[in-house]
Structure 1
Amino acid sequence: MKAVVLAAGEGTRLRPLTEDKPKGMVEIDGKPILTHCFEQLVELGASELLVVVGYQKEVIISHYGDEFEGVPITYAHQREQAGLAHALLTVEEHIDDDFMLILGDNIFDANLADVINRQREDRADAAFLVEEVPMEEANRYGVCDTNDYGEVTDVVEKPENPPTNLVLTGFYTFTPAIFHACHLVQPSARGEYEISEAVDLLLRSGRTIDAIRMDGWRIDVGYPEDRDEAERRLQEQRGEASADADAESDSEAETADATGNE
């Protein structure tokens, strides 16, 4: 399954961190956000990385070249920052089967594989990783509603009065049907071609979209404080992993000593 990474954003809210680089190249825990994304996608079995670039695209292209850990990279240029549906259309010619989509400014430690498995098992037209957030924060995201079967019934982008607190996290799987919907999208009040509008068109045409509740955490790196929080969590996670490894090593050593004393 191919993986699309949307990384064309300028990251104005992350300044001064983005004064000399695009948002995806901001470092968290010693490596760019995009590297974290790429590592997870490769682990998930991505056969190709389709990276949509825009602002200071040369920085990304020169850093990664044409492959990452043996997985080929193809770049597509979004010449105008006109929304996620617009960005997705830049890779249409490269996709003819189900694919993953990740926003290149998110850091995940979550059950991404569950989304892929649901897509494959149910043959849904799309599957989204979703999470519950405080109601007062829901208007920062794409908000969705679901039925009793866990299927998405409605999606609205950054609503003034959110109908629920269940939001899209930035990791999706789609069939190529999404491209037809993206072509039909009209500019929103923000002047952008919204992915949520394309999803709404899929829903209205009778397509099935499954919502997978997130198990874990993710950080949408929009502001410098988000970058700091993501770094804190990753370092904390690494510390816990190191402690677990030390404990396991000590346990094995104690077992070996006990066996030798018998």
Structure 2
Amino acid sequence: MINTAVILARGLGTRMRAEGQSSSLTAGQAAAASLGYKALMPIGAHRLIDYSLSALADAGVTRAVVVVAPEHEAFKAHVRELAPSRLRIEFAVQDEALGTANALASAEKAVGEEPFLMVNGDNLYPLEALEAMTHVSGNAIAGFERSSLVAQSNIPAERIAAFALIRHADNRLIGMIEKPSEAELAEYGESAPVSMNLFAFEPTVFEACRTIKPSARGEYEIVDAVLALENVQVVPVSGGVLDLSRRDDIADVESRVAHVSVRL
């Protein structure tokens, strides 16, 4: 069983910093939004990352490696305040925001030689999906059912349509495409699973992260690293994923987790 998770929380938060529907934000939320802090966004009595850490602990994770920027005193202070007892929290520094594969590669030393989960710091995943991924062997990607994402997430269908699609045969990955066009959506089909950046990895992924080339936008993409691996399992999952990318997302996410118990 996998008991380590890597949480990518280094992003620049460009969309979050942009002006949006912010009239309903608290002073703390507005301050966090202006700095692009998504994982540290105040949500109810907690921060967004607290809900993620609690769910990971519920799934059996006992150690979390949080990928952060060089200036991460706010994260350190928050962890000291949390004083978690259910899991150990460590930090890995990504010097520059050079993409998700580069962010993951920065956690190699902290992770060591054991399998681990990788999750986005601005997403909250259903417990059932996390539990399923902690029990896989080898490299795996969670393939979310599109209809359940649309029905149970706070993410509009048009945004979900831009997420990476998974092509598989006998639950083995044979292709992925990011930001698919309408023609590519039709080619993959409505039943094609959607990637929400929930992975189970063996340490071999770090070598893949080092060998890929930058994408057209100059970043090292986790999709390219995954496609460079051999024999990646696709784990079918259903359920909604909460996404906190924009200021407009804050109120909806807050209402959806209002009755969620956080235990750290």
| Cα pair 2:70 2:93 within 8 Å, conserved | no
Task: State the alpha-carbon separation in 2 of the partners of residues 207 and 226 from structure 1.
Answer: 36
Paired with 2:91 and 2:33, the residues of 1 have a C-alpha distance of 21
In the other structure, the counterpart of 1:96 is 113
Residue by residue over 1:32-89, the C-alpha shift from the partner in whole angstroms, topping out at 9 and shown as x without a partner, is: 1111111111222223211100175111111103962242222111111111100001
Partners in 2 of 1:3 and 1:139 — Cα distance? Answer: 27
| Contact in 2 for aligned 1:129/1:170 (Cα 8 Å) | no
Matched, 1:75 2:124: no
Unaligned 5+ segments in structure 1 are 240-262
Normalized per residue, the structure richer in helix is 1
TM-score by length of 2: 0.78
Q: Aligned partners of 1:238 and 1:63: how far apart in 2?
A: 20
Q: Work out which of the two has the higher radius of gyration on C-alpha atoms and give 1 or 2.
A: 1
The count of residues paired between Structure 1 and Structure 2 equals 229
Where does the alignment leave 5 or more consecutive residues of structure 2 unmatched? 18-29, 151-156
Q: What is the rounded CA distance, in whole Å, between the counterparts of 2:123 and 2:75 in structure 1?
A: 16
Take 1:31 and 1:157, find their aligned partners in 2: how far apart are those partners? 32
RMSD of Structure 2 on Structure 1 (CA): 2.4
Residue aligned with 2:11, SS:
coil
Which of 47, 65, 70 lines up with 1:50 in the alignment? 65
Deviation at 1:209, TM superposition (A): 1.9
Deviation at 1:227, TM superposition (A): 2.0
- SS in structure 1 opposite 2:165? strand
Distance (Å, rounded) in 2 between the aligned partners of 1:223 and 1:64:
24
Cα deviation per residue 1:119-140 (whole Å; 9 max; x = unaligned)?
A: 1xxx332232523156743453
- Cα gap change, 1:158 to 1:68, in 2 (>3 Å): farther
1:213 to 237, 252, 255: 237
**Which of 207, 216, 223 pairs up with 1:196?**
223
Return closer, same or farther for 1:92/1:238 CA change in 2, 3 Å cut-off.
closer
If asked which structure has higher relative contact order (CA below 8 Å, sep 6+), I would say: 2
- Tell me how far apart the structure 2 counterparts of residues 20 and 223 of structure 1 sit (CA, whole Å): 12
- Closer, same or farther: CA 110–43 of 1 in aligned 2, 3 Å: closer
Whether 1:105 aligns to 2:108 is no
Tell me, yes or no, if structure 1 residue 231 matches structure 2 residue 231: no
Instruction: Give yes or no for contact 1:110–1:217 (8 Å, CA) kept in 2.
Output: no
Structure 2 counterpart of 1:115, which letter?
M
Listed as ranges, the matches of 1:108-187 within 5 Å are 108-111=125-128, 112-117=130-135, 119=136, 123-132=137-146, 136-147=158-169, 149-161=170-182, 162-163=184-185, 164=188, 166-187=193-214
Aligned match of 1:243: none
Does 2:77 match 1:62? Answer: yes
